[in-house]
Amino acid sequence: MNMLSRKTSQDSHGQDSSYFLGWQEYEKNRYHPIQNPMGIIQMGLAENQLSFDLLKSWLRRNPDIVGLKKNGVSIFKELALFQDYHGLPALKNELVEFMEKIRGNEMKFAPEKLVLTAGATPANEILMFCLADPGEAFILPTPYYPGFDRDLKWRTGVEIVPMHCSSSNGFRITSSALERAYKQAQKMNLNVKGVLVTNPSNPLGVTMTKTELNYLVNFAIDKNIHIISDEIYSGTVFAPPKFVSIMEVVNERISDNNIWNRIHIVYSLSKDLGIPGFRVGMIYSNNEKVVSAATKMSSFGLVSSQTQYLVANLLMDKKFTFKYMEETQRRLKRRKEMLVSGLRNAGILCLKSNAGLFCWVDMRHLLSSATFEAEKELWIKILCHAGLNISPGSSCHCCEPGWFRVCFANMSEDTLKIAMERMKTFTDSTNSAVKGSNNSY
The DSSP result for 404-433, as a single string, is EEEE-SSS-HHHHHHHHHHHHHHHHHHTPP
CA distances (Å), origin 45, targets 74, 220, 311, 409 = 38, 32, 24, 9
Count CB atoms within 10 A of the CB of residue 102: 19
CA separation for the pair 184, 276 (Å, rounded): 36
230 is catalytic: yes
Identify which of 107, 149, 124 has the alpha carbon closest to the alpha carbon of residue 20.
149
Count CB atoms within 10 A of the CB of residue 314: 23
* Pair 52, 274: CB distance under 8 Å: yes
Selected catalytic residue, list 149, 151, 230, 362: 230
CA separation for the pair 263, 217 (Å, rounded): 9
CA separation for the pair 281, 263 (Å, rounded): 17
232 is catalytic: yes
Peptide bond into 276 cis (omega under 30): no
Selected catalytic residue, list 92, 153, 271, 336: 271
CA separation for the pair 397, 198 (Å, rounded): 14
CA separation for the pair 31, 206 (Å, rounded): 29
CA separation for the pair 93, 266 (Å, rounded): 16
CA separation for the pair 388, 409 (Å, rounded): 15
CA separation for the pair 25, 35 (Å, rounded): 17
Element (H, E) at 311: helix 305-316
Identify which of 207, 196, 185, 220 has the alpha carbon closest to the alpha carbon of residue 144.
196
Backbone angles phi and psi of 288, in degrees to 5: -60, -40
- With a CB cutoff of 8 Å and minimum separation 6, the contacts of 352 are 170, 206, 439, 440, 441
Selected catalytic residue, list 41, 232, 283, 390: 232
Selected catalytic residue, list 145, 267, 284, 309: 145
CA separation for the pair 400, 392 (Å, rounded): 11
- With a CB cutoff of 8 Å and minimum separation 6, the contacts of 293 are 129, 130
Give catalytic residue positions: 145, 230, 232, 271
